[in-house]
Amino acid sequence: MKQGAEILIDTLIEEGVDVIFGYQGGAVLPIFDLLYRTKELKVVLVRHEQAAAHAADGYARETGKVGVCLATSGPGATNLVTGIATAYMDSIPIVALTGQVPSTMIGNDAFQEADIVGITRPITKQNYLVKSVEDLGKIVKEAFYLARSGRPGPVLIDIPKDVSTGKCKSLRLGAVSIRSYNPTHKGHPLQIKKAAEAIAKAKRPVIYAGGGVILSNAADKLKELAEKTQIPVTNTLMGLGGFPGTHPLSLGMLGMHGTKYANFAISEADLLIAIGARFDDRITGKMDEFAKGATIIHIDIDPSEISKNIKCHIPIVGDVGQILEELNKIAEPPEISEWLSKIFAWKKGYPLTYKDDDQLRPQYVIEKIYELTNGEAIITTEVGQNQMWAAQYYKFDKPRRFLSSGGLGTMGYGFPAAIGAQVANPKATVFDIAGDGSIQMNIQELATCVQEKLPVKIAILNNQYLGMVRQWQELFYDKRYSHTDISVAPDFVKLAEAYGILGIRVEKKEEVTKAIKEAIAYKGPALLDFRIVREENVFPMVPAGAALTQMMDGIA
C-alpha cells in the first residue's frame, strides 16, 4: 500500500522530473513532508506562487522538458493563474500541481477552497480534479503526456488532501493512450510536394519562423532549408534563436517592433512560408495588408491555427521538425538573385539604429551585454521596452537562449524565468533584462536566488517610467503621462544589498563595460541598475492597426 503523496512523487520521478518550484501550505503538507525525504527531487522554494509557475516555465523553455510547480489550495492555487496563462499563450509544457481541501468539504466554502479547475479551464490544455487515490498515478502520467505532446501547453492537477494522504495498492502503469487525443505528427506528402513546387517557382520568397521551430527542436532543419534554397528568414519574438540572428539570410524580428527590412520583405513577398507561427496581431499589423500578394504555406501542428487569422493556401499539419525533414529532401532553390539583392540593399539601408552620443541609452547596454557574453548568455526579459530592445539588439544564434512572455505579455515574468533557466543550466550566464516597473512585480525572488545560490544577473533599464505605455502616451496621447511615472521607487542597489546580493548603479555610458564585467565575474547573483535616458523610445514601430510598411522610425 502506498500513500497518495508517495504515488505522486514516484510518478513524477518516472516522468523524468528532477526539480519542483513551489510554496508550502496546509493542503500540500503531506506532499512536502514526503519531498523532505526524497533525494531524487530538488525543491526550489520561491517567495510567491506566481514565481513558481514562471520558474517552471523558464525551466521548460530552457530544457525542452516539462516544468513542474506546486502550490497549496485557495490563494496558493489562484496565484499560479497568471503563470499558467503565460505558458498557455506561448505553448510551454508545464504541469501545475495544486492542493485542495478534502473531498468531503469541496463546495462548502471551506477555508482556502477555490475551484481552481473551473478557474483554469480556459488556460490549460487539460485539467483534473483527482477524486480517488487510485486515479492519481494515471492522471499524472496523462498530464505529462498531454503537456509535452502535440502543441505543448500547461496541464493542472488539483489534489484534495484526502487523496494525498489516502492509500492504495501501487499500480504498474503502461504507456498513455487517449482515444480522443491523437495529434498529427507526419505532414501529408502531397501537401509537402505542393510546398516544394511553390518554393521552386517563387521569385520573392520569405520564411516566417515562430516558436514552433524551437518547441519542435527543428532549428537545424530550418537552417538547412534556408541555406539550400537561399530564402531569407524572419523570426517572431518567440522564434528568436530558431534561426541564427547573425546569419546573412536573417532578417531579424518582424512585426510591430521588427526590422524595417523584415517588414518590407513580408509586404513584397510572393511566397510566405510560415513555420510554427500563428499570425498574431503584433506580427501582421493591418491584416488585409499583410503579405497580400503572397501565396502562403502554413506548417503547424495545431490545425486550429490554420487560416485562423490569415488565409492559408497550402496548409501542412504536423510536427515542424518532421515536415521540414521531408521538405528538405525535395525542395529546390528558386531563382531569386534579384530578390536577394533587394533584401541585402534594404538591410544595408535600414539598419537598426539609435542616437550614438554620450548619454546612457538602453540599446547600448544590450549591445554591451551581447558583446561581453559573446552572444552565449541565456536572456530572459520582462515585458515592454526592455523586452523589445533585447529582441532587437541581442543577436540570438541558438534556440532556447531567449525566454520571454510573448502572447500574454506578463510583467514580472523575466526574473523567475531566469531562476528556472539557471536551475536548469547552473553553469550558464543568465541575464534578466528588466524594466524598473516589471522587476518590482516579483522582486521578492531575490531571496530565492540567495537561498539557492543562483548567480542570476539582473540588468534593470531604469527610466523611472512604465516605459512602453509612456511611449504610447507620448506618440498617441499628446504626452499625457497618466499614471506612468514611477520615479518613487526603491534604491535598487540598496535593496539588492539588503538581500545579500551585489548591487551596482550605472549612471554614465563609460561605466557600462566595467559594471557588466564585474557582474559576470561575480560568483553569486548581481543586480545592475542602469539609469538610462528617461524618454527613449523603441523604434521602428508600427502603430496599432497600421500596415507593416507604415513604420515610425523616430527620426525627426
With H, G, I as helix, E, B as strand and everything else as coil, classify residue 289.
helix
Domains 2-168 and 189-349 share a fold: yes
DSSP 398: S
437-441: long-range contacts, CB 8 A cutoff, minimum separation 24: 437/384, 437/411, 437/465, 437/466, 437/467, 437/486, 438/382, 438/383, 438/384, 438/386, 438/411, 438/412, 438/413, 438/414, 439/382, 439/414, 439/415, 439/492, 440/489, 440/490, 441/382, 441/411, 441/412
Per domain, the residue ranges of the chain are: 2-168, 189-349, 362-531
At 289-310, the pLDDT tens digits run 999 999 999 999 999 999 999 9
Give, in words, the CATH class of 2-168: alpha beta
Task: Please report the pLDDT score of residue 169 as a whole number.
Answer: 84
Cis peptide bond prior to 540, omega within 30° of 0: yes
Tell me the three state secondary structure of residue 435.
strand
Distances in Å between the Cα of 384 and the Cα atoms of 13, 85, 164, 221, 438 are: 38, 18, 41, 31, 9
Strands 2-3 and 167-168: antiparallel
pLDDT tens-digit series, residues 484-530: 999 999 999 999 999 999 999 999 999 999 999 999 999 999 999 99
Secondary structure (3-state) at 309: coil
The rounded distance, in Å, linking the Cα atoms of 192 and 297 is 10
Q: What is the pLDDT of residues 334-356, one digit of tens each?
A: 999 999 999 999 999 999 999 99
The CATH number that domain 362-531 falls under is 3.40.50.970
Question: Does the structure show a pLDDT above 80 at 172?
Answer: no
Rg of the chain over all Cα atoms, to the nearest angstrom? 24
Three cell numbers written together for 109:
466554502
For the domain spanning 189-349, the CATH number is: 3.40.50.1220
> Above 70 in pLDDT, residue 556?
no
| Dist. CA 35–CA 20, nearest whole Å | 10
**Cβ neighbours of residue 235 closer than 8 Å, sequence gap 6 or more:** 209, 210, 241, 242, 243, 245, 250, 251, 252, 253, 254
Q: What are phi and psi of 530, to 5 degrees?
A: -90, 115
Q: 6-41 pLDDT, tens per residue?
A: 999 999 999 999 999 999 999 999 999 999 999 999
Residue 176 or 436, more confident: 436
pTM of the predicted model as reported, rounded to 2 decimal places: 0.97
* Rounded mean pLDDT, 305-329: 97
Mean pLDDT of 191-211: 98
Hey, how many other C-beta atoms are within 10 angstroms of the C-beta on 353? 12
Q: Is the pLDDT of residue 63 over 80?
A: yes
Question: Which residues carry out catalysis?
Answer: 49, 111-112, 161, 468
Give dist(CA 508, CA 242) in Å, integer. 35
Residue 446 pLDDT class (50, 70, 90 cuts): very high
Per residue in 205-264, pLDDT (tens digit) is 999 999 999 999 999 999 999 999 999 999 999 999 999 999 999 999 999 999 999 999
Note the pLDDT tens digit of each residue in 125-147.
999 999 999 999 999 999 999 99
Coil vs helix vs strand at 297: strand
